[in-house]
Amino acid sequence: MSDSRVPRRRRFLVCEPRHFAVQYAINPWMHPDTHVDVDLAQEQWQALIGAYRSHGHAIDALDPVPGLPDMVFAANSAVVVGGRVFGSLFHAPQRRPESTHYDLWFKTAGYEVHRPASVCEGEGDLVWTGRYVLAGTGFRTTREAHREVQEFFGHPVISLTLVDPHFYHLDTALFVLDDSEGENNIVYYPEAFSPGSREVLARLYPHAVLATRNDAMAFGLNSVSDGRHVFIAPQAEALAARLDDHGYVPVPVDLSEFHKAGGGIKCCTQEIRS
């Protein structure tokens, strides 16, 4: 079956982890006394960029800024659909200055950037499925922002409530396998969501690949798929095996140094959709 899966070339915006560190705690994964091996983080990040390029994906890079250790998590900076950019307003004051630098990059590249009025953390909580936006709330992005996103893009927004603080962003509990019209499907960890949100996901995606808590704790849900290849944490072995059974090709990339800050592959990857 994997031979029938067709990858789609993607364009990603990334930011080098030159200043990456764990200097504060804004999620359960972060402990300020944690030692970060910056050299190892650089190696792991470069391996991710290499994996993307070797599979035909285009990479744009934003220069990191001293004093902003989480700037490497580019996904939180915005969500881009149809060449339109909806920016971020971070929940944590430590991260709010990041938005200025990402907004400037998009504007310099010729995009107009919408500044949200409510707390909104980009692709961390806003997942484009090819049909609508799945939107997380409960810990970071607000429901008010969901309404703002719908008005801006003109696409339906499906609000989903996260209930486990370990999965504080939607992209730690769910990712899109394929956003093409005929094969639209997702992977998610049901227990990360409220009962009503689980029912919504089950109705929308009756054939979804379901993940376990072990998969999610291994950052297996913080993955990126191009419709055939799934760039996934090697620690999520069981989930990778299930994806292989469904005809996808797992591409293991170890970003374990970034797990110390509650991030992984998707967190480091902003997709620019023309």
Question: Which residues are known to be catalytic?
Answer: 169, 267
* Cβ burial, residue 120 (10 Å; 0-12/13-18/19+): buried
Question: Among 118, 238, 234, which residue's Cα sits nearest to residue 189?
Answer: 238
Query: Which amino acid type is present at position 135?
Result: A
Pairing of strands 249-252, 229-232: parallel
Q: Contact, 111 vs 139, CB < 8 A?
A: no
Helices (H), the chain: 38-54, 98-108, 143-153, 195-204, 213-217, 237-245, 256-259
* Cβ burial, residue 54 (10 Å; 0-12/13-18/19+): exposed
Q: Contact, 101 vs 71, CB < 8 A?
A: yes
Return the sign of the alpha-carbon dihedral for residues 171, 229, 238, 268.
negative
- What CA–CA distance (Å, rounded) separates 84 from 72? 22
